[in-house]
A and B are shown apart, each in its own frame.
Chain A
Amino acid sequence: MAAVSGWWDDFFWGSLVVVELFFVALIMTVLFGLIGAGAKLSNSRVAKSIASGYTIVFRGTPEILVLLLFYFGSAIILTAIAQIFDPEIKFVDFPPFWAGSFAIALIIGSYATETFRGAFLGVDPGQIEAARALGLSNLQTFIYVRIPAMWRLALPPFGNHMLSLVKDTALVAIIGLEETLFVAEQAIAYTAKPFTMYIVVGAIYLGFSTIITLTVMGLERYANRHLEVWR
């Protein structure tokens, strides 16, 4: 364990990168999931097919492939665009943080699409009818009746998506993001203790998973507090 001393602060900064990546990807995931679910639930055949294509492609393709495709692919696009302005430019690097978070969000977003769609369909139609009968507008019904019911149904499976999300952040190291695996590699170059260093990375991720699991459990309790029986 002495080998790790001196590296703790590097690992700490690496972990912060993971946290940043997680939250950025999370926001995009929710966005993609909602858009995808909206498309699937809409009446437009075009929207439905695009959304279906989206979920099929991103649930059936290895995550590492999606990452590499986006990273290299976006670098090419960016380079092409830059070459319009300055033909001397050979290669523009797309920041791995954004390529990574975008790619992960697309992947988890495809699972979230299904989850949100299921949650939306699971809302008791009787409640919607009651809201209408009380005179609430469409928008008010959506905000005050649909959404509260939906996020409660979506929470347990979405909790699992969040766990997948945090674990997928490790893959972004493959495209060069300087997070925990990168720190581990440097530490290994100096200390020649790969087992120790990778175990530290594992422990960091286990910590994140635990935090997410506990948070989701707390949220579930909050969500269902109206169902608790008071003795």
Chain B
Amino acid sequence: MSFDFELILDSIPKMLVGIGLTFELLFLSLALGTALGIFLLILRISGRWYLAAPTMVYIYIFRGTPILVQIFIIYYGLPQLEFVRDSIFWPILKEPFGCAIVALSLNTGAYLSEIFRGGVLGVDRGLTEAAAALGISVRQRFIYITSPIAIRLCLPAYSNDVVSLMKSTALASTITLLDMMGIARTIVAETYAPYEVFISVMVIYLVITWAIQRTFAWIEKRMSRHVRREA
């Protein structure tokens, strides 16, 4: 059993073609998921049970079931339902790319809303009280006091979630999409050389993970200028 380096060099450019799709999946789902996470957070902390309760059920379901199953339900399952086929969303939902984005966004939105909630709960209550005492309204308190501080607090967890999301994009290969993982599997099916191909794509994924972590470390450093370093 020999290690075919030539195969590695040959495959890497092919897999990098998939990197575009990997990044599309990542960034689009992250953007939508973040927006969804914020929306769910606001419902959750609204104080109104009829908004908070369904939100908690949603989060419970999406965090309690495997993302693969969620992808299958949306891609293979929804076409079974007539009202989905008739709806305006059908053009998106019949395409594997659309389904992947929907599944990844809905999933990551659930996780992110809990992360954001953790950040909000971590804001010192005295600060919001001081703002209230100054006459600043609830909405303004949330925007100018709670959010900046909460964002800085959730950065480590957010960064972990971005890495998780990146790893989840590889599941798009199970519904025919040719992202890096999809292309890698195709090459392996043709060449019967799982080690070379899979290890190469693993290296690429590790580089991306590293890049994500470095980026967030830099962001966190910049946002913590005002924090006192414990002597």
Contact = CB atoms under 8 A, between A and B. Distances in A.
- Interface size class of chain B, counting residues whose CB lies under 8 Å from the partner chain: 35 or more
A183 interface: no
Contact of A76 (B1, B199, B201): B1
Given A60-B205, A68-B198, A188-B76, A209 B65 contact: yes
B223 to A, nearest CB: 24
A201 interface: yes
Contact of A57 (B68, B72, B202): B202
Contacts of A170: 66, 68-69
Interface stretch (A7-15, A123-131, A137-145, A192-200): A192-200
A64 B181 contact: yes
B65 A69 contact: no
B181 A65 contact: yes
Interface string B193-210: 011001101100110011
Most chain A CB neighbours (cut-off 10 Å) among B61, B72, B169, B174 = B72
Nearest to B1: A80
Interface string A167-211: 111110110000001001000100011111111011001100110
A70 B205 CA distance: 17
Contact of A65 (B61, B68, B205): B205
Contact of B66 (A72, A167, A195): A167
Contact of A56 (B66, B76, B169, B206): B206
B143 interface: no
- Which applies to chain A's interface (DSSP): helix, strand, loop or mixed? helix
A86 B64 CA distance: 47
Nearest to B75: A194
A59 B162 CA distance: 12
Contacts of B80: 192-196
Nearest to B68: A170
B16 to A, nearest CB: 16
Given A62-B167, A62-B205, A65-B198, A194 B66 contact: no
A194 B77 contact: yes
Which of B66, B68, B199, B201 is most buried by chain A, counting CB atoms within 10 A of its CB? B66
B170 interface: yes
A171 B69 CA distance: 9
A205 B202 contact: no
A62 B168 contact: yes
Contacts of A213: 64
A65 B203 CA distance: 11
Interface of A: 56-57, 59-65, 68-69, 72-73, 76-77, 80, 163, 167-171, 173-174, 181, 184, 188, 192-199, 201-202, 205-206, 209-210, 213
Given A80-B1, A181-B72, A202-B73, 7 more contacts: A56-B206, A62-B170, A65-B170, A169-B66, A174-B68, A184-B72, A198-B76
5 contacts: A64-B171, A68-B188, A72-B194, A173-B68, A194-B76
